[in-house]
Amino acid sequence: MNYVSINSITETVITLSYAKGVIAFDNSAAQFFEENFSSEISLRCTLFALFPSELAAQINEKMTFCKKGRFQTHTYQKNLDAPVFSFYIAPIISENHKIESISLSIEKTQITSGNEENQLLKELNYKTQFYSNLFYHNPDAVFIFDQEGNFINVNAQSARIAETTEEELLQMHFLPFIPEKKKEQVLKYFGRALKGESIDYHCSFITAKGTLKYLEVKNFPIVYQQEIIGVFGIAKDITEKLEIDRKRRADKQMLRAIIDNIPDYIFVKDRNNRSILTNKKFANNILGLDDLKTNSNITPLDYFEETKAKQVIADNDLVMNSGKAVYNRQDIVEKG
């Protein structure tokens, strides 16, 4: 490794194959990775074996663009007082004229105080960390697709929802996760995002382990130099919410079936004495309504004369405040 007197900079170079992982590295690589990332480099090891998962995913995203012939750079700083790592990713054209590997050069710069350039670096890396926190520590799944629909960057929640690892997810296309009947529709949403639209939709989702889930998804285009180069996505797992809603509806339907078959007058009020539930007998005979949906927000003042209505309201308040039942109001619950 090379050392510079003022800002100590260490360097290393490795060659990565898209299919085989590390295929070559210089003499400084072993010490570099051990000192800076507590990892051990070897042939065929992957990005995730060398770098923290967050950084590995970021480099993988850059490598995807590099495969299209674009030289890429990336800057990483764990925190504002930590060294800055600069990554330079260059495509390597093989004999078959395809880009099957890249050269990854890494420089480490130790930040020192009192230097204007270093202060600018700190500000830049603060913004980078701010973005990273939004992306990698987001409670929802956050991911990036290339123009073909392959995952090129994901956060940890994406892998948890998909029931796989981040490394595996970055080798996959999104389509295998979509049920057959929904694939055409989801592909249309993806195509609209590639054309510049922001799309919100719900879709079913099959995890790597075969679990059926339901997601609330937002897709929007990634624009670089006035060119759409991919699609950004955010997904929330709403499986549990939908199941709770389904059970709530089923419970409400069961309660409705029970109270509609009780011969007495049944009604439920909130603390403001508004009707939130009645049985058919009460709605038909007392309220004079055929449609039960129209009786919400009605108070006793709407269907009793004022004296009786105030008695009912007083009874309701007593029950609400004391938890004690009130009986023998037959004189009130008679249709006038």
- Walking along the chain (336 residues) 10 residues at a time, the average pLDDT comes out as 42 92 90 92 94 90 83 83 86 84 88 58 58 75 92 91 92 94 95 93 95 94 84 92 87 80 77 79 74 68 83 85 72 49
pLDDT of residue 1: 38
pLDDT of residue 4: 35
pLDDT of residue 149: 93
pLDDT of residue 24: 92
pLDDT of residue 17: 93
pLDDT of residue 132: 67
pLDDT of residue 215: 95
pLDDT of residue 313: 86
Query: pTM above 0.75?
Result: no
Contact 94, 116 (CB under 8 A): no
* Amino acid, single-letter form, for residue 335: K
